[in-house]
Amino acid sequence: MRVATNAAGLVAQVLTGEVWPPLADRHGFRVGPDGQPFALPGMGGMTLGAACGDPATGYASDHLEPGASVRHRDPGANMAVQFLTCVGNEVTMASGPAAGQRGHVIGQHAYVLVDFPEPGAQQITTGDQVTIQAVGQGLRLTDHDTIGVKNCSPGLIEQMPGGTRPDGRLEVHVAARIPAEAIGAGVGMISEYANTDLMGAYAGLGEDLSLGLEGLRIGDIVALADQDHRFGRGYRAGYLTIGVISTGQCMMFGHGPGPSSLLSGPAEAFALVDDPDANLATWYHDTTGAQ
Amino acid sequence: MTDQPVSLAPVAVNLLGQVEHPVFGDSPYRIDADGAPYVPVGDGGLVLGVRLGDSVFDTSGDHVAPGACLVHPDAAAQHALLLYACIGNRAEVRTGASAGAVGAVLGKRGETGRVIAGFDADELAAMRPGDQVSVRAIGQGARPDWLPADVTLMNLDPALLPKLPVTAGTASTAGVEVSVAAVVQAKKAGNGLGRPAPAWCLDLQLTAADGIGLRFGDLVAISDIDARYNMGYRRGWMTIGVLGHGASPLPGHGPGMTVIATGPARSLRPRDDGAGHTGLTASMLMLP
């Protein structure tokens, strides 16, 4: 993105975490939109077979978290990991057979979510340690005072197409536009933690549930209409939030594929360009397995 | 056509709650929707000075509830208190200076969970956090015989239902008609989406600037929201609730309604009576 930032003034912090297990309870089942019971994997652990550029929905899964789901064992340190880690930050495996392999953060979901290339990803399991180089909170676009930046590494901003236009607006390429009715669980939470679930993307379920979002892909850059995420996530007419789809398929009602918040401000401060290549896979996910 | 569900007899359970004490972290501040720090007042605990019928926008507080918030020190027991307590349930003070006072459940709140109970103002003022309150929980699973098969009721004491402005349809106007103070669009649904309606209220992302006069106890409808299980978007549905707590400076939050009815909009029909609406009142609950 051709845009002036304060990136030169940011510091990086080295954080640690571990691939955190999926969590369940003895009752097993949860319920879907029509009361249908389900017991499906997706959240926590090391999830294989869904990566940036792949469809977000269409899996037998709930709260699909692509790749490694990372937390820190200490509650206070965990909040540092969740708040300070940004999309695009580099993560290195620090233990286990995949030690030394590098991946990138694609978002937060009460876990930090890390995309690792195949085939190395298959060597990673629950309990493996990771090292995160966290940088990005505090980032500002110095020529766009009304736009807040969240959870966004300086490297991601550099690689995204677009930038400051002659008319002063910020050009952002997006793979999809999301109506305000789609905003589900996650509304009312802080913007630096977890993400916003999108309703209306229940592949294979009723037409009356659909908001036409079944084509979303993991890693898609999306524009959320009437959303102000500068100081927490809420509705504000005339505002716009740019996010990245970091989680996928949900069976749980009121939940769905979720964007982590990246940029937020008045809609008139943005110039959106519809671009199917606006996906993290274009800039980060290495499908060749090369290091 | 959905088969008519069987109407089973509800059972009552006496549950114990205790009046909550407000809690803060190390910082007194939260951040409002415009980025300004503020000190949240009235967010839980025992709140004086607001009553059923007062505006939900007129207090300088955050999620203010008209009465005492009840919790339980054991997390699982607190979830049960939250899940089973219903609007209109009898709440009797068991300890402290107001022991013997009888009030009623007005609503509930999600997250860690609180039941909101209303009492006479003098008896409320004599209570203190930690006082024990016995809640006679009855209502979950109850459905009157006349209720259309595709309408679900919840969070409502069966004895209160006949007193609320809820009218069974006739042969020519099928379904249920409910007087409401406003019909809100789905895009204004806030915190509570994706959460279970028997254990969580739905915040409406409204402020005084929206110009909709809303009061504690008002019945409010929200369109295209299905609240039978978790709350979420479903085109053509309607959900109705009772406003149990007030507005909030936080983004994504606002006056909160405890859901009492949900169903297809053709069967659950709100009648927008605006300022002429009368919802849940103190006299219905026999509160002085």
Neighbouring C-beta atoms of residue B99, cutoff 10 Å? 14
C-beta atoms of B230 and A199 within 8 A: no
Nearest residue, CB atoms, B194 vs list A185, A228, A229: A185
Dihedral angle over CA of B77, B62, B87, A183, nearest 10:
-90
Whether residue B221 contacts residue B240, with contact meaning beta carbons closer than 8 Å, is answered with: yes
Nearest residue, CB atoms, A181 vs list B224, B250, B251: B224
Q: A14-53, pLDDT tens digit by residue?
A: 999 999 999 998 888 999 999 999 999 999 999 999 999 9
- Contacts B193 to A, Cβ<8 Å: 183-185, 187, 197, 199, 254
Task: Over range A72-89, report the average pLDDT.
Answer: 97
Mutate to test the interface with B, among A145, A178, A191, A199 (most CBs of B within 10 A): A199
- Contacts B236 to A, Cβ<8 Å: 208
Residue B264 in any domain: the answer is yes
Whether residue A257 contacts residue A56, with contact meaning beta carbons closer than 8 Å, is answered with: yes
- Same domain? For B43 and B117 the reply is yes
- Contacts A229 to B, Cβ<8 Å: 251
Tokens of B227: 């609240």
C-beta atoms of A187 and B193 within 8 A: yes
- Same domain? For B37 and B116 the reply is yes
Task: Over range A153-177, report the average pLDDT.
Answer: 97
Q: Give the domain-ending residue among B111, B137, B163.
A: B137
- Contacts A209 to B, Cβ<8 Å: 232-235
Residue B190 in any domain: the answer is yes
Whether residue B240 contacts residue B262, with contact meaning beta carbons closer than 8 Å, is answered with: yes
**Total-model pTM:** 0.94
Distance in Å, alpha carbon of B195 to nearest chain A alpha carbon: 7
At residue A291 the predicted structure's pLDDT band, cuts being 50, 70 and 90, is very low
Nearest residue, CB atoms, A188 vs list B231, B234, B250: B250
| Rounded Cα gap, residues B149 and A256, in angstroms | 29
Q: Give the domain-ending residue among B109, B137, B165.
A: B137
C-beta atoms of B232 and A231 within 8 A: no
C-beta atoms of A184 and B194 within 8 A: yes
At residue A287 the predicted structure's pLDDT band, cuts being 50, 70 and 90, is low
Q: What are phi and psi of A122, to 5 degrees?
A: -70, -15
B233 touches chain A (CB under 8 A): yes
Going residue by residue through chain B (288 aa), what tens digit of pLDDT does each one get? 456 677 789 999 999 999 999 999 999 999 999 999 999 999 999 999 999 999 999 999 999 999 999 999 999 999 999 999 999 999 999 999 999 999 999 999 988 899 999 999 999 999 999 999 999 999 999 999 899 999 999 999 999 999 999 998 876 778 999 999 999 999 999 999 999 999 999 999 999 999 999 999 999 999 999 999 999 999 999 999 999 999 999 999 999 999 999 999 999 999 999 999 999 999 999 887
**DSSP string covering A186-200:** TTTS-TTSS-PPBPS
Residue B283 in any domain: the answer is no
C-beta atoms of B33 and A228 within 8 A: yes
- Same domain? For B179 and B202 the reply is yes
Nearest residue, CB atoms, A197 vs list B31, B189, B194: B194
Domain count, chain B: 2
Q: Searching chain B, which residue's CA lies closest to the CA of residue A200? A: B233
Task: Write down the pLDDT at residue A286.
Answer: 63
User: What mean pLDDT, rounded, does chain A reach?
Assistant: 95
- Same domain? For B17 and B121 the reply is yes
Nearest residue, CB atoms, B232 vs list A188, A199, A235: A199
State the alpha helices, DSSP H only, in A174-278: none
Residue B55 in any domain: the answer is yes
Residue A288 has pLDDT above 60, yes or no: no
B234 touches chain A (CB under 8 A): yes
- Same domain? For B132 and B22 the reply is yes
- Same domain? For B129 and B176 the reply is no
Question: For residue B84, what is the domain's CATH number?
Answer: 2.40.10.170
- Same domain? For B260 and B195 the reply is yes
Residue B286 in any domain: the answer is no
Question: For residue B199, what is the domain's CATH number?
Answer: 2.102.30.10
- Same domain? For B173 and B107 the reply is no
- Contacts A206 to B, Cβ<8 Å: 234
Residue B5 in any domain: the answer is no
Domains of chain A: 1-291 (2.102.30.10)
Q: Give the domain-ending residue among B137, B172, B207.
A: B137
Q: Searching chain A, which residue's CA lies closest to the CA of residue B206? A: A235
ipTM score of complex: 0.91
Nearest residue, CB atoms, B195 vs list A32, A33, A254: A254
- Same domain? For B119 and B159 the reply is no
- Contacts A253 to B, Cβ<8 Å: 194, 226, 229-232
State the alpha helices, DSSP H only, in chain A: 75-84, 154-159, 280-283
- Same domain? For B156 and B133 the reply is no
C-beta atoms of B251 and A226 within 8 A: no
| Rounded Cα gap, residues B117 and B87, in angstroms | 9
Owning domain of residue B177: 152-276
- Contacts A254 to B, Cβ<8 Å: 193-195, 230-233
Task: Over range A256-269, report the average pLDDT.
Answer: 97
C-beta atoms of B193 and A252 within 8 A: no
C-beta atoms of A183 and B191 within 8 A: no
- Same domain? For B125 and B214 the reply is no
Contacts of A239 (CB under 8 A, 6+ apart): A226, A227, A228, A264, A265, A266, A267
B90 touches chain A (CB under 8 A): no
CA–centroid distance for A283 within its chain: 15
Beta strands in chain B (DSSP E): 13-19, 30-31, 37-38, 68-71, 90-93, 102-109, 114-118, 132-137, 152-153, 166-168, 176-180, 182-184, 202-203, 219-226, 232-245, 256-264, 268-272
Residue B106 in any domain: the answer is yes
Residue B282 in any domain: the answer is no
